[in-house]
Every structure is written in structure tokens, then in C-alpha cells.
Structure 1
Amino acid sequence: MLQKIREGSQGWVAKVIVGAIIVTFALFGAESLVSYFQSGGNDVAKVNGEAISRQAVETQVQRGIRSGQVPPEQERQYRAQVLDQLISQKTLDQYAEAGGLFVSDTQLDQLIVSLPEFQDQQGRFSDQLFTTRLAQAGYTPAAFRRELRADTLRRQIQQGLAVSAFVLPGEQQRLAALQQQQRSFRYARLTPADLAEPVTPSDAEIQKYYEAHQDDFRRPEQVKVNYLVLNQQDLAHNVEVTDAELRQAYEQDRKAAPRRVSHILVTYGDGDRTEQQARARLEEVKAKLAKGEDFAKLAKTYSDDSSSAAKGGDIGVIQKGFFGQAFDDAAFALDQGQVSQIVKSDYGLHLIKVTDIEIPSFEKDRAALVKEVQLAQSQDAFNEAVQKLTNDAYEADDLASVAKEMGLTLKSSDWFSRDGGGEGVLSNPDVIAAAFSPDVLEDGYNSEAIETDAQQRVVLRVVDHRDASVLPLDQVRDRVTAAVKAEMTRQRLKAQAEQAVTSLRQGETVAGLDWQRVDAVTRDGADGVPQPVLEAAFGLPRPAADGASYTSVELPDAVAVVALDKVAAGKPDAQSADFTRRLAQRIKAQNAIQGLSESLQSEAEIEKR
């Protein structure tokens, strides 16, 4: 199937598929990443002078949260991970550029149409799947192409390192034998119930722990704000719309609506025919169409676009920008069923037919049209309101008077920090930055009107502020007590386990151990066996005859005593030996890639802000 796609990519449609991507996703401007990759005053880091913007970080963070992969309470840690990842990627990008690595537009086109994520059940590129999946991910076409190109270059570097990794035959044999080695062992859990008496921290122990772990009980700098939200939707609701205005808007939308298009392409200039000969060929087609012959049948006979000719010239649903200005001007001037005059493009000469226009009926689209017209007609009023809000907020010493003057609701927030932000519009990075800016926080001014999206502005004023500080022990005593109790319990269980291991090694019997037996398992593990226990068992030395090797290992809620009873040599077959070889090569490649990344970062000038 991929070979078929590659062959098809030589056709005219594949050559312009990226143009299709660019326009298709222009609809998702609300998630535009274009500005995220531009330098500016809101940068969070620089790598060898190249900026990483705050928006780039926030975009990745919000994607992780919206996808459900990152719990909201881990947002702060995830943000730091994202920044580190972007720094690493930036060093690799610079390394690729310095090394002259390159991905052509044609290579990028072929990669896009071959990605299985964008193919239908028949393995064909699907514009609908492409549209849906990139929209859900929040990508604009420019950002998608940029990230895909950069990722492809990074993979070129990684693959170059990977193919240089090799494993010697002796290494392969030893690794395969170790991979298939089988071990039989026992393990017993020690839980808080196994302690002689429950742990009860003293006041002195609580105080000591609190003083040693004050960073765990630190409250970040926080503010409370009053704020106003100006939303164009609120103004738009008051706009009365006539049926004539709705129909006019519908016709405008219909003219620009996606449409299904067929074409007959005749190429020239390749030594086979001249432009004049190409025009004569299409004039012949036009004459046959005038006599009532079928466009689809003529496309199969006359079109030089091999990828669409077999489908009667059908090139699918397009939007403006797909195939260049001349093609667009012709295609979007046609109504359903109409055929264009001869159109000249970079690819040759075309006859274009619109077979369908993808737009709901007027009645089905009425509600959306009402909102569209209301927004359009309220734009001037909204712009005036934004200007008034800006002026009034600048001149006022509070927000209550501004709210009264403009008929807005004055809202108040709870405490929030730079990292976490507040709820609703207060989670917007620009709003957070404004709340902690010197003019607002230190000088006590109202903020400027902050654009949170094209139809909304926010103005805020700090009404309370508290510096970062360690919370008093009385406020966090329950948390400290729980932490001390958990730590003391862990230490006592660990000591009890180590004592049991010492006694077992001396040949003594230890009462109260509830052994769980695991027989003849490989490093792949067995159901129900905790991974730390498995790793401990495979980390123990081979036991003496009729003896056992012992160790202890910590688990999330317990400590386990592990006894290794038997080690059986592995007998790798050809399949497992090949797997081990590939695994070893992959590990070596990963180490090489990690080494390169660390080296590039150590040599780079990295400035975090």
C-alpha cells in the first residue's frame, strides 16, 4: 500500500496535497501556533540565541491536560518537563541545520500522504481524517508542517546513530542467555501491620521534620484580583438580524464553501507537447462536453493526472488555497454542475467541474448564520467598547466605577499564583503575566485590556498580595504528621526487613514471613509479581547448592524480603536471539542519542528565564 501511495504521489494531486493541508487547517486559527515560534519579549528560554516562547510551552502543556495524559495537579511539573524537552529539541534542530540536513517539500508531501493516521480503511489518504485529527490536536497547517519537518530531521540524526550501533556475536549470545534465564524465588511483604507497635510521632519529631522539609510546605507568591470581562457575544445578542441579511451571508458562505471538484489536466513543456497543443486538446474536450458527453468519461481518456483520471477526474473536496490562485478563482466561481473555461496553473492546463458544494441548507444553517451576522454587525460596537474599557481602566483608580460605567459585572478571584493561575479567564498566561507585572502588582494600577481571544478582553486589578512563605506549622500540622508517620513507618519496616535478611543469611528461621513462591520466571516477569521484587530477584547472585540468596526491597506501601532459590540457564531460540540482538542495538542507539543530546546541551548557551 505504501508503494502504491508513493507511486500515486507522482501524480498532480499528491504534489499539491500540502497546499490542501495549509488551507484545510486555516479554519483552526484559534489554536494557531504560528506566533508560538516567533521570538519576542515573552520568551522563557534561549538556546544559542534562539528563543523558546512561553506560548510554545503553554501550548504543549494545555495539549497534555486536554488529552487527559496530564492530571491538572501535575501541571507545574509537566511545564518544567516540556521546557526541558523543547530545549533538547532546539539543540538537535540547530545540530541538524549546522550539519546541512534537509527535507524537501516533496519528501514531506510523501510522508504526509503515507502516514497511517490520515488513511482510511482502504489505506488511502483521507482529507476528512486529516482535518479531524489535526484539528483535535490544535495544529495549524504551518505549525504542522514545521513540526513534522523538524521531527523528520531529528529522526534522521537518530537513525544515523542507530545504524552505527552493532552487537558482537559473543555479546549477543550472552545477552540472549541472560534474557531467557529463569529464576525461582520467594518474597514476603512486611506492612505497617507487621510492626510491633504503631508509629506515633512525637512533637519533637514533627518539629524536626518540618524544619528539615520546609520547601514541602512553602506557599508560592499569590494575589487576589478584581476583574472585568468584556465579551463580544454579549453585545452580539442585542443585534437584530433580518432574513435578507441571513440569506446574503449564506450566499457569501456558499461561494467560499468547500466543494468537491473534478478536473481534466493536460500537461505541456515536457517534450511531448507545447502549450498550444495542450490547449487544442482541451478545446477538443470542450467541444465534446458541449455535445453532451460525460465529463468523467472524458477525464479517463484525456487527463494526464493519473491519480485522478481513473476516478473520472475527481480530486476530492477542496478549499481555497489548494491549487493556486488561478485554479481557485475558477473553481470557486462555479456553481454545482458547472465547468470552467481553460485554466492555466503551475501544473498545466485544466478544465474544472464542481460536482458538489459542501454546505448545509439555509434552514439547517440558520442558527449559525444568526451568530455569524450578529458578530459581524457587532464588531464596530465591540471595538468601541474595547477602546472605552482601555481608556476608563487607565484613568480609574478602581474597577468598580469602570464596571458601573460600562454595565459590566465586577468579579473577584480567590488566591492564585504565577504557576497555577486562577479559574476561567484567570488561567490565561497573558492574564497571569499581567497580574504579576510591576505596574499592576507593585504600583497598583489597573491592567491594560488583555486580549484572551478575538472576541474577549479582560481588565484586572490586584486587591491583595502575599509573598512566598513557609506556612506555619500549625497550619500544616496534619500534613507534617502524616509525612513523619509515613517516613518513620518506612524506616522501621526497612530495618525489620534488613534484620530478617541478616538472620536468613545466617541460617536462622524468621517467624511471621508469609512467603509467596514464584517458579521459573524470566525477566519478562509474572502476573502479580511487583516489578521491584522481580528486579531484586534478578539482581541477586546465584545461590549456593541447597541454599538461597536474600535481599530486601522497598515497595510503595511495604518492604519485601526476597529469597532467590534457583537459577536455570536460558535456552534462547533463533527468534529470541534476534529479539535480544535488536534490543541491544536499540539500547546502544538510545545511549548514543542520549549522549549526543547531553553533549549538545552542555556545549550550548542556554538561558532560562
Structure 2
Amino acid sequence: MNIRKLFTIIALILSAQPVLAQETIDKIIAIVGDNIILQSELYQYSYSLAVQLGIDPQEQPEKLEKMRQETLNNLITQKVLLEKAKLDSIVVTDEQVDVVLEEQIARMTEQMGSEEKVKEYFGMSLRQIRREFRKDVKERLLVENLQNKKAQEIQISRREVEKFYRTYRDSLPEMQESINISHILLKVEPSEPAVEAAREKIEAIKKRIEKGEDFAELARQYSEDPGSAAKGGDLGTMQRGDLVREFEEVAFLLEPGEVSDVVRTRFGLHIIKLENKVGEKINPRHILIRLDTSEEDAQRTVQKLRMIKNMIRNGEMTFSEAAEKYSQDEQTASNGGDLGWFQIDQFQIKSFKDAVAGLKEGEISDPVKTKFGYHIIKVNARKSARALDIEDDWKQIENWALNMKRQQELQEWVDRLKKDVYIEIKI
């Protein structure tokens, strides 16, 4: 199997959504080193993968069965790579897991239309969803980090690139129309009066707690967290990584019975009370007052972007200088908002593609809305579709040649790893 397809399927396996299957007696169907693969695990992942790949499990049972066999092979590969990752002391931080979890939840929210629909689909709260997926996400990142570490060890010479070009020249695609862009991102933030009103409300609640009123009862009355308010703000037993960073940093420093100062997260303002602590597990309660944004907040953000665009057009600053000063994209602000080159037909954000469609080099778009906030986009350069040239397109050809070499050598590496791990298939 092509190694790129192999790792794509592994990524799909690890991000597949659990589904309710017909109830069966579970059993071990494979042993891989110190790990086992359960029949329920195979059925869950293969069913979910089939749905993701457009296969109807009810109408196409033979394709589902083929998918199960392919899924089993790839689950075995995944377990082998996890064993290797542990042996090589590959590290994944809680922060890295948090980022991927939030991206995954944001993607599902966008696909389903709202967080409420996501919770309804899974039959659990977002906190429970994070906990349910956390182990799988961490395993996926361990495998990816191991794969990337191995891939970086594989390099390619100029002679190999030239040979690749001579061999595949007639079958290589032409260079598609591409575009180089920069952007400035502004997130929609609640207004200062709204923040101040929320802070006054939660500070008043905190004073009542300090005077001896029951935390749980106040949570039932005032908390705006629909998942915990009815339970007196009880979040259940938590461990590190289950909560957003700002909340977690405070909660784990509290002693049982202690109440925190006001804590701000992306969800709003919280007061936290620690009920119990056993080792690295805690049982917190909280009261949440949300910091919701309004259409007025969105329009204020749009107006600010238009003002920034006008300053650039009037020559008061360059786009790069404006990005460094105003953009809230931490990854690109420091380099002037540069997003690099994209092939037009491979834009992942449709609103970006639509916004730049009619722009010439040097022109700046009107504000564009995405799930991240609002952007203005500058077209730095365009390239028309054309045939490949080894000198002009050396970097692209080198990347293709290197990727092919890495795919081949990674597949051989995986095959060798499998020979060194005890594998027993029981079906």
C-alpha cells in the first residue's frame, strides 16, 4: 500500500467518530506487542470510516467487509507505530493535544451547524467529547511525530531529483494557477461595556459566596453553562488536559473548599470551587457568565478592518506593517501576515477563494468572514497555469521526488517494524 494512503487512513481511523453498533459480545481479534485490538474497536472504526468515505454500510455490506479488513491491517500498523513511538520516547504535549481537539470540535461544529447539534449527535457534553477523543488524538499525534521524525532523516540528492524528472516528466501535472497572499485577522471580541457588565455580575456573585451563600445553589441560579448549571456547577472528576488551559491552571492550584478569583477563558468569566482532589484528579464546580458577541461587535470589527485597509491605501503604512501591528493571527503577524503560495483550486477556505478571485496583484479584499473572525487579504503575486520546467520549478519537482522517496522508504521501514513486533490475528 502507498505509504501516503496508509498514513491518511491511520489519521482517519484515529479521528473517526464512534458510532452505536449492534450489540455483540466483545472479543480480542488481534494482539500487537503489548496492545490488543477489540472486535468492537474494529467494527466502530470500519463503520465510521465507511460513512466518511461515502460507503453506505446497509446498502453495500460487501464493501463494508472489505473496509473492515483494510481497517484491521491499518489498526495493526497504528499499534506497531505506537509501540515504536514509545520506544523512541516520542513526546506529545497536552497543549498540542488541546489544539487538535479544539480544531476537531470546531470542524464538527462547522459541519453540523452548531455546538448543540454536535452534543446531540454524540449524546454527551463537549467536555465529555474532549475526554472521549483525547486518547485517540494523542495517539494520532504520537504516530505523526514519529513519522515526521523518520521522514526528516530521508533526504534526496540533485541527481535523484533529475532522474525523477526524466522518468516522470510526461506524467507530471502542469503547474496550476497559483496565488501568493497575505492577510490581517481580527477576532470578534465583546465590547468593553459587555465585558464590564459580565464582570460586575460575576463579582457580585463572588461576594455572596464570600458571605457564606451556597456555591452550588448560586450556580443553579446564575451559571450560564447549560451542561453543569443544573448540577450546581459540578464538572465531575477531571484530570490535566480535560479543561481549557486558563481554567486548568487555576483549578489545579486550589485546595479543597477553596474558591478562585474570577478567571477569563474563551467561554467567558468563571468562578471555580474545588470540591475534592486525589492525586492528579480534581472535582471542580464553576459558575460561568458568558461573554457573548453581538452583530454590533462583528460590525465594529469589520469597520476597524476597513479603517486599516484605508490607511494602507493612503500610504500611511504598508500591508506588512499593518499586519505586524494589528493582526491577531499569532502565526503570521510577525512576518507581515504572509500566508505563502496556494493553488487556486486547492483553497480550503471558500470565502478566501471567492474574495481573491477578481483581485489583481497588489489589491486588497474587503473584509472576509471565517470561523476565525474577519480578514482582509492582499494578493502579492499570481502565476498562470503552465508546463513544468526543471529550473523554474525546481522546488516543486524536488518536493515531489522527495515525497516519493520518503513514501517508498517509510513503507519499507513499517514492514521491517512489523517483523520485530509480536502480531497475532485471531480471526
TM-score band (shorter)?
0.3 to 0.5
Q: Normalising by structure 2, report the TM-score.
A: 0.42
Tell me the TM-score normalised to structure 1 length: 0.31
Q: Which has the higher contact order (CA 8 A, sep 6+)?
A: 1
